[in-house]
Amino acid sequence: MGKCEVCFRHCEIPEGGKGFCGARVCIEGQVKAYNYGKISSIALDPIEKKPLARFFPGSYILSVGSFGCNLRCPFCQNNEISWSDEAFAEMQNAGTMSPQELAETAAQCTSKGNIGVAFTYNEPLVGYEFVRDTARLVHALGLKNVLVSNGTAEPEILDAILPYIDAMNIDLKGFTDRYYEKVLGGNRQMVMNFIAKAVQRCHVELTTLIIPGENDSEDEIREMSRWIAGLTDEFGRKTGAEIPLHISRFFPRFHMTDRAATDVKKVYRLAEVARENLKYVYTGNC
């Protein structure tokens, strides 16, 4: 039996078993990343797709995903590779890519406008060891590292990767504990702590997907944007108003097909509300 200390779940994993995320296993009493080096998806994407609007705009980045996730969002866009039974079965016998191979592949793509590696698609931090090891080598080659995360990792995990991460897009999926716990199976306070620490060390942008009837009130977005605006840099200065926020439109999919897509006017209105406190607010999927 081993206890995983990566996220808020603190899974007690039996010998030979997997944690909730499906990516961490217990071997000889030690919890390890079962998904280390197992790549489910790789593509050269525009940086704006992460989404990052104010980090090397116009560039490309080699985007890489594995499998495993510690949340269960009913509207997940990447469930086929992040935590479906099919993904776990397919990845069980998949080959691996070493950190050195991935870093070298990123370097080979610089002629196509690539600036580095983005760890994305699934939740990268359930396999943070691969992120850490690869990002270190990517930096050594003079390239950038981007992390796209749900932000539900313990401070020690963030400390392990922050020296090598240049930019993050973090999902701030809503601003109520009810939504995080009942709908997503997550922990809002952990995400808030994660964001507050990350903004002191690297470029951070945030994304909120607006789900009709769940996190779409003006009061919630106003409270969220006020909190963001109050965040401080490493010197204690209030710089949160400069943090870009992406407010995105929901489309029915996966287990959440019981409601229509978010009204475009609603997305635009919530963006206006967020701009009461934030300088850079972007709308997506509209």
Q: Is the pLDDT of residue 88 over 80?
A: no
Nearest CA to 73 among 273, 279, 254?
254
The rounded distance, in Å, linking the Cα atoms of 265 and 210 is 12
- The domain ranges of the chain are 36-284
Pick the CATH number of 36-284 from 3.40.50.2300, 3.40.50.360, 3.90.180.10, 3.20.20.70: 3.20.20.70
Quote the mean pLDDT of the chain: 95
The encoded tokens of residue 9 equal 């779940």
Quick one: pLDDT at residue 107? Answer: 98
Query: Could you report the per-residue pLDDT of 213-258, keeping only the tens digit for each?
Result: 999 999 999 999 999 999 999 999 999 999 999 999 999 988 889 9
pTM: 0.95
Bigger pLDDT: 85 or 42? 42
Quick one: pLDDT at residue 87? Answer: 67
Quick one: pLDDT at residue 159? Answer: 97
Query: Out of 94-103, 152-161, 271-280, which region has the weakest mean confidence (pLDDT)?
Result: 94-103
Rg (CA), the chain: 18
DSSP state of 25: E
Split at pLDDT 50, 70, 90, the class of 80 is confident
Report the run of H or E that residue 179 belongs to, with start and end: none
Give all strands (DSSP E) within 203-286, no chain letters: 203-210, 245-249, 281-284
CB 203, CB 166: distance < 8 Å:
yes
Quick one: pLDDT at residue 91? Answer: 67
